Amino acid sequence: MAPHSISEFEDIYRDLHAHPELGFHEVRTAGIVATTLRSLGYEVTEGVGRTGVVGILERGPGATVLLRADMDALPVREETGLDYASTAIGTAADGTEVPLMHACGHDMHVTALLGAAATLAADPEWSGRLMLVFQPAEEQGSGARTMIEDGLFERFGRPDVVLGQHVAPLPAGVFGVRPGPAFAASDSLRVTLFGRGGHGSRPETTVDPVVLAASVILRLQTIVSREVAGTETAVVTVGAVHAGSAPNIIPDSAVLSISVRSVEPAVRTRVLAAIERIVKGEALAAGADREPLVEHIHSYPTVVNDPEATARVQAALQASIPGVLVIDPGLVTGSEDVGMLAQAAGVPCMYWILGGGDPANFAGLSTPEEIAQRVSTLPSNHSPLFAPAITPTLPLGIQALVSAARAWLIR
């Protein structure tokens, strides 16, 4: 039976939250999505881009509206203490077992889109075509590309607009809407530094890659502080360092995992070139016998919201959701691969922020500055404590997707 009441979708949300899955492993999630869409009357195709799901609902002439939600979770151990908290364990790409959590809110994205699918299927007052895309592996930066390469638009047609939302710690009832560059571009790199291993008691016979890694990490911090202008935006983060196996063994190599965020293509090019220059220069200075290996793991562009589409969505939100507050959140240095869908289709994109913070945390605050200060103290996306307030976030997320879609569908 198709779910229709908000309580039924709340149950779906809790179930998805308790059963997270890593990118390209979203088999259970995709099954729930497909079953729900079929019960609502959508034509459903599974296995698009490995684990992606596409649902189509046609209602005569009009625009094709693509609504997108990402499905994957993160290798994070949940610490929220919720009665529906995840205790799941998954297998990472390197074969290790890792705890799993929907620490970025993709479970909210999926459930809100399912709720929107139900609302729009039950509404006879529109004409056009809905294309619902439930995407895998956003956190790996490869899910959108994989669906595109699997013939997403050749098989299901090209949309007229790509729409979606991302939950964040803003107060529930607040939407972040920004025209132009909205979410930063993302690059991930793996750098392998090669040394010469040996006994910890005889460092003079070695080239220590751990010391080399430390030098590289410190020097990388100077890229943003000394090579990027104050009027430009970039972030360089070394998120993981792996080297060695025992305190008295100097290893042969060290591996750094690096994340880069940027907005302007010229800045991105300059930052990536600086990373290569620094790792090679530090290796040379350390006397390494072999040049470092720099591998580009993934890359996806800045999400650029079309100004006209942004104005249309903002007007739809303000007209259809009582008491809604729409703000410009500024440039978000987090990244998203949803823009690749619009870029590949050659159509406008509009991707907004859905406030998911418990309103009780913002009681008595009246100014944007006060709200921003409170947001900065709350658990954010990717935190083991991140947990959107189901009510009123979920019904607002459903309504936002419905309102945005209706702005393109003939009524």
Tokens representing 118?
């139900």
Catalytic site includes residue 138 = yes
Q: What is the spatial distance between Cα 391 and Cα 166, in angstroms, rounded to a whole number?
A: 16
CA angle 400, 403, 408 (to 5 degrees): 130
Residue 19 counted as an annotated binding residue: no
- Dihedral over alpha carbons 255, 261, 262, 265 (to 10 degrees): 50
The answer to whether 106 is annotated as binding is: yes
Q: Whole-angstrom Cα distance, residue 395 to residue 390? A: 8
Exposed/middle/buried for residue 220 (C-beta within 10 Å: 0-12, 13-18, 19+): buried
- The answer to whether 137 touches 143, Cβ cutoff 8 Å, is yes
Q: Is 15 a catalytic residue?
A: no
Task: Give CA–CA dist 386/149, Å, rounded.
Answer: 33
- Closest C-alpha to 138, from 183, 174, 178, 193: 183
* Contact yes or no for 136/52 (Cβ under 8 A): yes
Which of 73, 81, 136 shows the shortest CA–CA distance to 104? 73
Marked catalytic residue, from 70, 107, 138, 282: 138
The residue among 182, 131, 134, 136 whose CA lies nearest residue 161 is: 131
Proportion of the chain in helix, strand, coil states, percent, rounded to 5? 35, 30, 35
Residue by residue, DSSP assigns 206-236 as SB-HHHHHHHHHHHHHHIIIIIS-TTS-EEE
Please enumerate in sequence order all residues whose Cβ is within 8 A of that of 354, keeping only pairs 6 or more positions apart, or say none. Answer: 108, 112, 165, 166, 167, 168, 170, 175, 393, 396, 397, 400
The reply to whether 43 sits in an annotated binding site is no
Residue type, 393: T
Catalytic choice (21, 26, 72, 306): 72
Q: Which residues are annotated as a binding site for Mn(2+)?
A: 104, 106, 139, 166
The residues annotated as belonging to the active site are 72, 138
